[in-house]
Amino acid sequence: MSSNLPCVFVTRRLPDAAMEIIHSASAAEVWQEEMPPPRAVLLEKVRAAEGLLCLLTDRIDAELLDNAPNLRVVSQMAVGFDNIDVAACSARGIPVGNTPGVLTETTADLTFALLLAAARRIVEADRYARSGAWQTWSPMLLTGPDVHHATLGIIGMGRIGYEVARRAHGFEMNILYTDAQRSEAAEQNFGAQFADLGTLLSQSDFVTVHTPLTPQTRHLMGAQQFARMKPSAIFINTSRGPVVDQAALYEALKRRQIAAAGLDVFEVEPLPLTDPLLQLDNVVLLPHIGSASIATRTRMAVLAAENLVAGLQGLPLPHPVDPAVTRFARP
């Protein structure tokens, strides 16, 4: 590899399609381990780097940037970028890229999978079928609420919220939503009705969160909000864990203040094995796989590679971080 190519650090192995783009334009060092590079290693690796391709498991902050005097671009393989101090990057003139759009429908699919799994008790039923407990067909065995024609409350009608609404419309659900902005498209295409958060919480059979994690949305869902939900309601989160006060959610589930939850994201990831949520049957737990289809993860990696290369070449990034993500104001 020519030594004239800019030096880049890539914090995990990526699909070949992305690696080809990266290798064509840089001298890339790729972290080969399954676990993320430890902090000290990351700090050391960025010292000479002109480009950094990172994941949501890497903390990119002022300390790291101060350690990376040659850095010209930070490219994240994710749409969310709460692990990155974007202001600190901007202050140093370092553009930050993310991967919006390509994961929207895949994440909406997973949201619906979680919603159906929590409502129809799919995980419990699978355990039951394997356990030997299944003796006969029984009238009320493993029953749950219907999804079709129920009311779905969508908190955050951005790209993913909108695609969730499309799926809900297919199930003939009534849709309520809250956001800082009205979505004419969701109202016209899916009959979604705008509501304040309190109304949405008290009237919905299912509540699903689709906001970015910002200072405004941290613990947007807490004890007070769960208390407003119906005791029969089911809560879904595929956005970011800290949007929810997880201790309050645990209490609400344990005391059956709400019926169930489906969670793909947590305040601490991986979810510690000591976490009390693991003791509950009325919650479906997934390991942050919202965008995990083969095609989508490949598209995300390619986009991240394209952002990286554009930044190295001093060109505008195809997908600079989206200022719209800050628009969700706390209702």
Q: Which residues are catalytic?
A: 240, 269, 288
270 upstream amide cis, omega within 30 of 0: yes
Tell me how far apart the alpha carbons of residues 167 and 154 are, in angstroms, rounded to a whole number: 12
**Segment contacting ligand DGY by CB under 6 A, of 36-44, 75-83, 137-145, 277-285:** 75-83
The one among 68, 79, 286, 312 contacting ligand DGY by CB under 6 A: 79
Rg (CA), the chain: 21
Position 78 contacts ligand DGY (CB under 6 A)? yes
Shortest Å, Cβ 119 to ligand DGY: 23
Nearer of residues 243 and 312 to ligand DGY, judged by Cβ: 243
C-alpha distances out from residue 74 to 17, 259, 311, 314, Å:
19, 42, 8, 12
Position 203 contacts ligand DGY (CB under 6 A)? no
Position 291 contacts ligand DGY (CB under 6 A)? yes
Torsion of CA 253, 269, 56, 38, to 10 degrees: 170
The one among 103, 195, 229, 244 contacting ligand DGY by CB under 6 A: 103
Amino acid at 256: R
Position 156 contacts ligand DGY (CB under 6 A)? no
**Segment contacting ligand DGY by CB under 6 A, of 44-52, 72-80, 132-140, 266-274:** 72-80
Residue 267: CA atoms inside 13 Å, Cβ hemisphere, count? 17
Is the distance from CB of 272 to CB of 246 less than 8 angstroms?
Answer: no
Q: Residues touching ligand DGY: how many (CB under 6 A)?
A: 7
Shortest Å, Cβ 209 to ligand DGY: 13
**Segment contacting ligand DGY by CB under 6 A, of 10-18, 78-86, 121-129, 315-323:** 78-86
**DSSP character string of 180-211:** SS--HHHHHHH--EE--HHHHHHH-SEEEE--
Nearer of residues 150 and 300 to ligand DGY, judged by Cβ: 300
Evaluate the CA torsion angle 179, 183, 188, 190 in order and state its sign: negative
At 172, list the tokens.
């003939």
Position 118 contacts ligand DGY (CB under 6 A)? no
Position 80 contacts ligand DGY (CB under 6 A)? yes
Position 74 contacts ligand DGY (CB under 6 A)? no
Position 86 contacts ligand DGY (CB under 6 A)? no
Applying CB under 6 A, which residues contact ligand DGY?
56, 78-80, 103, 290-291
